[in-house]
Structure 1
Amino acid sequence: MDIDSRSPHQAITYFNRYTGQQEQEAIYGEAFLRWTYETRLGRIALALAAKRVWFSKWYGWRMDRPASRSKVLPFIETYGLDPDEFRDPPESFRTFNEFFYRKLKPAARPIDPDPQAVVFPADGRQLAIADVSQTDGLWVKGQHMDLPRLLGSPELAERYAGGSLLISRLCPTDYHRFHFPVSGTAGPARQIDGSLSSVSPVALRRRLDILWENKRQLTEIETDHLGTVLMIEVGAACVGGIFQTFAPGPVEKGADKGYFTFGGSMTIVVFEAGRVRLADDLLEHAAEQREVYARMGDRAAMANNP
């Protein structure tokens, strides 16, 4: 996404790593999102209902109803998804949520085998930040990343001062399982309570503080060559939940960590200062305030070994 301060009504674009082209994002529910965040009445509705946890639980319940199954095939057709990647055929999903957090065939997302490589934890539009202290103007002009609030701990934030971030923004049309970006030993996921605002580009252009006000979960991963890596899953409006499927202990890069139920959502990976070299295309487009579309398992960074 071009994340500058231009008109919020402008088309949302990103760079596609695989086609080598800038492309326009098809935003699911765009008309409703623009009404919610760009009109006075919509912002009132947002404050009263849309960002409340009960609203997302209610919407998630709807996506768990058998009647929601009728949405699956039209969704696949409208957004051009490839059923050949699915582990299970589209007809097997009993609800829309079962389709939404579907598993893929292993061959659909090969994992970079280099032991020094960090991989994307999720499909989506990726934004790299080489130094978290240099984020003024990120999505919203004049705002910066509040790391202590994002991590829910000023003490933890001190350990990552000057560190790097990898933000994976998933839209509803993306594969919604998330995976470990590195191998190591994972601790338990810690929940940080909050509201559930949209993390769509329409919303983030208005308010960056959504990232540290939304409900999220944080996992610490001890590694041999990258120090302690943090992985955060951020909930969003209409996300019925963040579900962890891993057991604390040894984990492998690319292994399934969990999934989001219906809605757009986001993961954030945080590295200690000087630990990684982010991929060139990520840095190139980040300098232009632009996201890069890339898939889970592909290379995002390399260990910065001394």
Structure 2
Amino acid sequence: MIKYFNRKSKKYEIEKVAGDTYLKWIYSSPLGMKFLEAIVKKKIFSKLYGLFCNTKYSKRKIHPFIKDFNISMDECAINYNDFKCFNDFFSRSLKQNARPFSMNKKILISPVDGRLSAYEHINLNKIIQIKGFTYSLSDLINNNKASEKFNNGTCLIFRLCPTDYHRFHFIDWGTCESCNKIKGYYYSVNPIALKNISNVFCKNKREWTIFHSNNFGDIFYIEIGATCVGSIIQTYCPGKNISKGDEKGYFKFGGSTVVLFFEENRAIIDKDILEQTKNGYETKVLMGEKIGIKCEN
């Protein structure tokens, strides 16, 4: 059972997990763990499923998925009947006004729809994955030098469920460097998996970029793949001027994670998010939602 905090209702809610029974078996039973290590975590498993989700035969999965998880299609840019395959639906675009956000330069917005955990004054060698498991930023990006400037800064972890809008965006104006790609496995990023596999983020396929933000300093953007994520697609143009809210890229099918690292004294995260993280709960946020403010030095 995964419980998260809903900021709007100020209540805790239970997450309906896609493939819940399968996940529990894979990550909690001896036989399931053997199957995980032998097949599920491998690239070929996710690649084959991703190829299926690109075919017209996968289209029949769309309507049951919408119904089972009560996904609102009113905000979608096109009718679900017009999707050619399941991946088209999964990486769907939204209507222009579906995710409003503040243009105030001091307001920090969420780059995605997801469940957020926030950590301040981070030790780069002991970043929390989940209670009992930590990892280092240098291991996450395979680069010691680039990680040094983020010591004692802020780390935001956004977990995207298969039911979420799966495009990720820029949180400020600025420019972004070219993407660095790191090969890896395809473990699930669901809390069920995080509790049983150490250093998942450092083991999975991932991509990272440095975003030179006008108002929040340099920011590490890290996208992490997961089981059945066929691809991480970057749609931005390196080196070109970026506006707040612009699309950076999207995930194809599967649960996924976006992690942001801020330098020290650049951002102040909203107290309710920090409090829920401290109590062991993720906070549900939408792309464009205010999650903090600029730190005035």
Give the drift of 1:140.
3.6
What is the CA deviation profile of residues 102-126 of structure 1, one whole-angstrom value per residue up to 9, with x for unaligned ones? 0001211012221112211110101
Give the drift of 1:195.
1.1
Within the alignment, does 1:105 sit opposite 2:83 as a pair? no
For 1:178 and 1:137, the matched residues in 2 are separated by 22
Deviating more after overlay: 72-81 vs 219-228: 219-228
Task: Select 2:241's aligned residue among 243, 250, 255.
Answer: 250
For 2:96 and 2:273, the matched residues in 1 are separated by 25
2:259 counterpart residue number = 268
- Is the Cα contact below 8 Å between 2:91 and 2:167 reproduced in 1? yes
2:146 counterpart residue number = 156
RMSD of the TM alignment (CA)?
1.3
Letter in 2 for 1:267: V
Within the alignment, does 1:78 sit opposite 2:68 as a pair? yes
| TM-score (structure 2 length as normaliser) | 0.96
| TM-score (structure 1 length as normaliser) | 0.93
Letter in 1 for 2:32: G
Task: Select 1:294's aligned residue among 278, 285, 288.
Answer: 285
- Is the Cα contact below 8 Å between 1:140 and 1:207 reproduced in 2? no
Give the drift of 1:223.
2.1
Q: Where do 1:83-232 residues align within 5 Å?
A: 83-133=73-123, 138-141=129-132, 143-232=133-222
2:41 counterpart residue number = 51
Runs (5+) with no aligned partner, structure 2: none
For 2:213 and 2:200, the matched residues in 1 are separated by 29
For 2:109 and 2:198, the matched residues in 1 are separated by 25
For 2:44 and 2:177, the matched residues in 1 are separated by 29
Task: Select 1:23's aligned residue among 9, 13, 38.
Answer: 13
Task: Select 2:271's aligned residue among 259, 280, 304.
Answer: 280
Give the drift of 1:52.
0.6
- Identity rate, percent: 36
Q: How many residues align?
A: 295
- Is the Cα contact below 8 Å between 1:198 and 1:264 reproduced in 2? yes
For 2:294 and 2:197, the matched residues in 1 are separated by 32
Give the drift of 1:137.
6.2
For 1:138 and 1:289, the matched residues in 2 are separated by 12
What is the CA deviation profile of residues 152-189 of structure 1, one whole-angstrom value per residue up to 9, with x for unaligned ones? 21111211111101111001011111111222111111
Runs (5+) with no aligned partner, structure 1: 1-10
Letter in 1 for 2:268: R
What is the CA deviation profile of residues 63-113 of structure 1, one whole-angstrom value per residue up to 9, with x for unaligned ones? 111011011111111111111110001110010000000000121101222
Letter in 2 for 1:302: I
Q: 1:118 to 1:206 in 2, by over 3 A?
A: same
- Is the Cα contact below 8 Å between 2:105 and 2:215 reproduced in 1? no
For 1:282 and 1:45, the matched residues in 2 are separated by 36
2:296 counterpart residue number = 305
- Is the Cα contact below 8 Å between 1:123 and 1:296 reproduced in 2? yes
Deviating more after overlay: 94-103 vs 223-232: 223-232
Give the drift of 1:225.
3.0
Give the drift of 1:138.
4.5
- Is the Cα contact below 8 Å between 1:110 and 1:297 reproduced in 2? yes
Letter in 2 for 1:59: Y
- Is the Cα contact below 8 Å between 1:225 and 1:305 reproduced in 2? no
- Is the Cα contact below 8 Å between 2:127 and 2:136 reproduced in 1? no
3-state secondary structure, aligned to 1:91 = helix
